[in-house]
Amino acid sequence: MSWFAKNYEKAALGGSVAAALGLAFLGYSKLSGVEQDFGAGLKGQGNNNAAVRDADLIPKTLASLKLDRTWNQALDGDRPVDLFTGIPLFVSSLAPEKPIDLLKDAPVHPPIPNTWWIENRLDPGFADSPNRDPDQDGFSNLEEFNAKTDPNSAKSIPSLIAKLMYVKDESLGWVLRPGYGSDGSFPFNYQDTKGAVNKTGAADMIAPGGLFFAKGPMMNRFKLLGSEVRKELNKKINIEMDVTIVRIEDQRPNKKGVTYEIPAPLSEERKNEHLKYDRTAIFSLEALGLNGKEFKVEENTKFALPPDSPKKDYLAKIVTPESVTVEYTNPAGETKTFRIGKGGLAAAAE
């Protein structure tokens, strides 16, 4: 048997290795010649790269895309400065083919003159431009124009009374009932709609000039001024009768000096005729970001706007469930009075 027959597998393996080495050499020799044969470097037209025009611009483009192109507002001190100049063009909705000259033509939003928008750097090109609030102080452009205030500054605002809303009232009903008196002194019984009770008995009747009650929710609130006998018509029997009337002065700070005249004794069936109220107005200021935040003011009490201001220029003069009457003095020294309906603004009452 020949050597080849005995060593067939070894001979086949050796031939395969030789063939692989030959192919590897051919591949290496071709790779080293690619740039010369095909112009593999992207060097632009005419530089052995006729297939790709302006290929040398690609690296520049990629670098440009990585640049920070954020635009920042230019400032002169704290005043914004426009980096672009020109004249904005506006057209009328009724005649879109005709441009509007803001300096010469009629106001876009009467009664605001076109120059007002230019002077305040505001865009009049929106249908609701007069109702917009660029400084977010709660006052529209139209309100700022009417008040001659700066629409771009939350520190320059019209009178806050215009944004005072009367939400509702919080009322306490009460009745004071004198009993039978002796030598000008009387016992008293107090009841209110929250169930509170105060009373003085026959042993500690109140003499003229005396304060009552000694303790309880209405402690020292009332003062007996005196009493007198009057003729009054008894409607049940249609006959005039002598009736003792007591005069009582309220000592509550917001009602100091208010006088009540009540018959003594005051019967249960007639107590509703002498029902009184302590009323409190619940307001909200619909401006300065305080929209919907409620605050309370008792009737005939002064208050401030905004509520935390130390200067109390406003008076809740009269409070009812339907409305509140507010009185204040404007910067010109004039006393103004507004009647604000429940759920309404003072601006609507002007």
Enumerate the domain spans of the chain. Answer: 74-157, 160-169+279-349, 175-274
Could you count the other beta carbons within 10 Å of the beta carbon of residue 326? 26
Average pLDDT over residues 137-165: 94
Across-strand partners of 80? 75
Structure tokens at 26: 């051919």
| Amino acid 332: pLDDT | 83
Return the DSSP state at 79: E
pLDDT band at 168 (very low <50, low <70, confident <90, very high): very high
The length of the chain is: 350
pLDDT tens-digit series, residues 179-233? 999 999 999 999 999 999 999 988 899 999 999 999 988 999 999 999 999 998 8
- Check if the beta carbon of residue 242 is closer than 8 Å to that of residue 230: yes
| Amino acid 12: pLDDT | 44
The alpha carbon of 88 is separated from its chain's Cα centroid by a whole number of angstroms, namely 33
Residue % of the chain over a pLDDT of 70: 78
- Site of tokens 């249908």: 127
> What are the C-alpha distances in Å from 253 to residues 15, 256, 312?
120, 5, 16
Contacts of 15 (CB under 8 A, 6+ apart): none
- Check if the beta carbon of residue 252 is closer than 8 Å to that of residue 168: no
Nearest-angstrom CA–CA distance, 259 and 237? 29
pLDDT band at 52 (very low <50, low <70, confident <90, very high): low
| Amino acid 3: pLDDT | 43
**Preceding amide of 321 cis, omega within 30:** no
Structure tokens at 330: 């404007």
- Check if the beta carbon of residue 169 is closer than 8 Å to that of residue 283: no
Structure tokens at 122: 């505001």
Sheet holding 314-319, edge to edge: 301-303, 314-319, 323-329, 335-341
pLDDT band at 135 (very low <50, low <70, confident <90, very high): very high
- Check if the beta carbon of residue 164 is closer than 8 Å to that of residue 282: no
Structure tokens at 297: 């003011």
Q: Does the structural domain 160-169+279-349 have CATH classification 2.30.30?
A: yes
How buried is residue 251: exposed, middle or buried, by Cβ count under 10 Å (0-12/13-18/19+)?
middle
Dihedral over Cα of 103, 109, 110, 116: its sign: negative
Nearest-angstrom CA–CA distance, 302 and 300? 7
Structure tokens at 235: 């409607």
| Amino acid 24: pLDDT | 47
Structure tokens at 134: 């660029």
